Amino acid sequence: MCGIAGKLFFGSQKVESSEIQKMLKTLVHRGPDDEGIFLDNNLGLGHKRLAIIDLSSQGRQPISDAEGKFWLTYDGEIYNYQELRRQLEKEGTKFKSKTDSEVIIYLYRQYGPEMLTMLRGMFAFAIWDKQKQELFLARDRLGQKPLKYFYNQNCFIFASELKTILTQKEVKKEIDWSAIDEFLIYSYVPTPKTGFQNIKKLPPAHYLIIKADGNIQLQRWWRLDFSQKLKLKENEWEQIITEKLIESIKIRLQSDVPLGAHLSGRIDSSLIVALMAGESSSPIKTYSVGFGERDYNELPFARKVAKRYRTDHQEIIVNSDALELLPKLAYYYEEPFGDSSAVPNWHLMQATRQHIAVALNGDGGDENFAGYDRYRVMQWHRWLKLLPAQSLLKKSAQKIYYYLHWHKAKKIIQLLDILAPTRLDTFLRLINAINQTEKQQLLPTDKPTSDRPNFLAQKFQAVAHFSPLDQLLWVGINSHLPDNLLVKIDIASMAHSLEVRSPFLDHEFMELTAKLPPHLKLRGNIKKYLLKKIAARFIPEECIYRRKQGFSLPLEHWFRKKNYLDLLRTKLLHDRLPLYGFNTQFIGRLIEEHRSFRADHSRLLWNLLYLNEWFKVWF
């Protein structure tokens, strides 16, 4: 894993080494082991290296083919590179290193953009074709590795992180208020926006071709298809899913540096650790994070798995001083980012890197096997919307929550709030952090709002021919997964020079589970039905059939403590938000309603806390 950067002028102006060097200084955390710069008149490429495969100096980038016609700067890991290398060697290619990066160069020289379909892994890279004077940028299928860019009529600039792009004098730092509007809705900034005007994210499974005259072409090169189902018996599905997952794990165990796993005690990471143990001759190093609050703490379940497989296990406890991290998170995450589990993830990555350089995790299990509660809610939509006396039921639940502080009463309120006549409207209410009325009260009236308010609805309708569950899965894989989950993991891990690999996100594995009938993912009220059957052979039953506690901070609880209430009032009512015209009277009401158990506004309040800090750090 690495940090990449580059700059191309559309004309005769030369790129100076100092310009690329300035960019690389912001990427040291992504690649502390080595760096390199390549210049070709109006083109400059830079690279910061985190050495994982072939630790020798021959792995230094930017790297070229033997004739120096193609130059590459690359971030990622190609798990089938040895197979591809053997194929190229049969065709006459001679290699000078043992790296996957050199394989990418020769694949591109041989096959052009079509080579992307051959790669099995996670990646973001740029290739300069000296003969054509053409820059090629590509990003992996799911968006595991980031790639951001800026361009105007004079130049094109790209990097792994936007803070790198901001070092260049051509880039003016301006707030994109339409992205802020979308952040408040979704708790993240959807692709291609970033929160900064004129800086974009390259979408997953897309490539860009930038010509020296300024012509730019954007092309999608892969799409997950749920329309073709395999007709197999349940026991046959169990076997092929297990075999494919083991294969996905095995190819991710390649490393020339120490390797381990993140273990939450939930089904996904527990199964990964169990299957890793079967492939290892020595104890697996495992790392878990927990909280002092019992309802949010999963450490006891992680211990059960660690004990069964005799792992070398370590635990990290996150306390309520977590908000001290906010300035650092706002800097490293760069964009407005409202997932509070970024905090425990940060601590987990920090502790892990003290012992290993590569960690496997269980991310992607929910996306493959319908593990989120929203899938179950949507399944029962047609019956839930017929509930009688909904208004009376909600008022009763509100009184119970207010007086008795009963958690399930809050769940009833939230469920009734999201019910709408159509599936689409219910889905949008379910995932949104704020409704349109609240947003209009909160935001300054003189700032532009989103120019694509229906972008998720458009994704939803684009796959209306899929089954209802497959439709939801596809939308999540093309929105929440790349822009929230994978951002969270990449930024937190690379801030500590740690590589994280996700076997469930192997594209061949995902293409297989896309062929799995919906009833083997969500059966009645049982989420992850088939995966749970598989896991029952490997992990303790209490780790499989239990309430999902999640990995987020216990904000609902913390935001009712006096010290946190004082902090909320100080940060949200008297800091940056008022300066930008946010309605402090409305925010004050949110704080009071949350304090008094009249509502749970913890998600929105956290988003506003983060946004306030983001304004301070970047503007």
Strand ranges inside 341-384, DSSP E: 358-360
Coil, strand, or helix at residue 292?
coil
Please work out, in degrees rounded to the nearest 5, the angle formed at the alpha carbon of residue 391 by the alpha carbons of 388 and 393. 70
DSSP state of 523: B
Q: Is the peptide bond before 62 cis (omega within 30 degrees of 0)?
A: yes
* CA separation for the pair 164, 147 (Å, rounded): 11
DSSP state of 481: I
Strand ranges inside 298-418, DSSP E: 312-318, 358-360
Write out the two tokens for 134. 């053409």
Coil, strand, or helix at residue 339?
coil
Catalytic residue among 1, 2, 37, 481: 2
Coil, strand, or helix at residue 389?
coil
Residue type, 11: G
Which string of DSSP letters, residue by residue, matches 188-205?
A: S--TT--SBTTEEEPPTT
Q: Which residues of 225-256 are buried (b: 16+ CB within 10 A; e: fewer)?
A: ebeeeeeeeeeebbeebbebbeebbebbebee
Write out the two tokens for 156. 């094109």
* CA separation for the pair 251, 253 (Å, rounded): 5
543 counts as catalytic:
no
Residue type, 411: K
Coil, strand, or helix at residue 110?
helix
Write out the two tokens for 283. 């104890």
Q: Determine contact, residues 250/223, Cβ cutoff 8 Å.
A: no
Half-sphere exposure of 568 (CA within 13 A, CB side): 27
Instruction: Catalogue the active-site residues.
Output: 2
